[in-house]
Each structure stands twice: as C-alpha cells, then as structure tokens.
Amino acid sequence: MVILHTRFKVPMEIRRVPQLDQIDDMMKSTAERGKPVMFIPGGLASTDSYTPAWGQIFEYVGQQAGSLNVRTITTSYMPDATVILGDYLREGFVKSGHPERFRIEDQVCIQGGTFTWSQGTVGLVQRYKPGAIFALGSWDWASHVNVLKAASLLPEKPLMIGGAGWVDLVSYCAVFCDYMFIGDQHMAAQAVLSGDPWHPSQLIGVDFTKFILCGIIVAAIVAAYLGLPMSKANIW
C-alpha cells in the first residue's frame, strides 16, 4: 500500500473515527463547566506499538485544551512516560497558539509502584474533580480500576474515554468509560490526526493482510469440511 501511494500516487484515505468527535464533545463540555481534564495513562511503554497513536491523541487534546483554556493534569508512575506525555501535550498547546497555558507543574509522576500511583491519583481526582478523564495507555488493570471507580463515585461524574493495548483491558473500559478505543481505532485516529499519508496506507495494508489471513482460514475450514488431505504438503 505504501508503494502504491508513493510510486503510483494512489490516494489512501480513511474516515474520521467517531471517537475524535466524542473527544471534541468532552472538551467542550469540560470547558463550559470550568473543570480540568485528567490523563491517567499509568505508563506509556516505548516498546508498545500504540504509544505513538496515544501521543497523537494527547497532542490533539492539548490543542483543544489550549484553545478552550482547559487545565490539563497528567499522572504516571513512569518518569519517561511523564516526559513523553508532557511533550505531546505541550506541542498541542503550541499548535493552539497558546503555549503559555501549558503548565509543567500539572505533569505529575507518582513513583513507588502501580498501587502507590493509583492511591495518589485517586487523591488528585477527588481534589480537582475533573470534567473529563482520558484513560489511554499501557495501564495496569488492578490499579486503574481504583482510579476509574473513584471518578465514577464523584458527585458529578466526569466524562471518560478509555483504551489499552491489551485486549483483556477493554472490558474494564466498557464498564467505567463513556467512550473507548478498540483495537486499530487507536491507529486510525493517529492516521487521521497526523496528516502523514504514510499512516493511512500502512493501516490499509494491515487491513488487507487481515483479509488475506481470514481467507486462508476460511479456505482451510472448507477444505477440512470436504475431507481434503490438509496434512499433506503437496496439496499446496
């Protein structure tokens, strides 16, 4: 797909994912109520393939926060994740034309383990009572559930959007969050926001690969149903 796009100028476009519109609504609602937003990624592992996509989403939120003058508070238990997230947010504020509204003191790192982080973050949630929470990142289910539960018990429940790289964590997002990213929707959001034509072409290439693999699986099922000798290598 990348070769088709670069060499033969074949247009590669994907539709805007609905989660971006939901983020727009969350930020406008938070600004109208005069509340801050909180990011609780826990960690942003440099080895996680979703990290660049999350960073692009954070930058988009930072751009809106700068335009709407919404305070952004982040907490992480990883120092490098705090720096990465802060850089993405700062870039968003710069793009909004209001870099002075970015507050470095609101980028908080709480070390001592995931449960220490979760208890400290629960305290921040209860203190600041955010209007929106972004639970996107390489987070630990046990510690994050405490934070999401505490946020859900606030007198005025914040709007929450969640997403994680691990499939088993999506169920927790479904329980507590109003919106969530599932699977490649993270990558699709990155492709839409980045403006880089390589991202849509790479994502379309991955989808074509999935179709091919699904076709092979279906062919194998049909062959097995018809009693064809799948174990013999010479049938290929």
Q: What is the pLDDT of residues 188-235, one digit of tens each?
A: 888 888 777 666 667 777 777 888 889 989 988 888 888 776 655 444
% of residues, the chain, pLDDT over 70: 82
Q: What is the pLDDT of residues 146-174, one digit of tens each?
A: 888 899 999 999 999 988 767 767 778 88
Residues 101, 93: contact at Cβ < 8 Å?
yes
Structural domains in the chain (count): 2
Cα separation, 35 vs 52, in Å, equals: 27
Same domain, 40 and 56: yes
pTM of the entire structure? 0.78
Same domain, 165 and 209: no
Same domain, 136 and 200: no
Residue with tokens 């705090």: 82
Same domain, 27 and 80: yes
Q: What tokens appear for 205 in the block?
A: 């290439």
Same domain, 190 and 225: no
Same domain, 34 and 78: yes
Q: What is the pLDDT of residues 49-103, one digit of tens each?
A: 677 888 889 999 999 999 999 999 999 888 888 888 889 999 999 999 999 999 9
Q: What is the pLDDT of residues 14-30, one digit of tens each?
A: 778 889 999 999 999 99
Same domain, 224 and 172: no
Same domain, 46 and 145: yes
Domain of residue 206, residue span: 4-9+196-235
What CATH number does residue 123 fall under? 3.40.50.720
Same domain, 136 and 179: yes
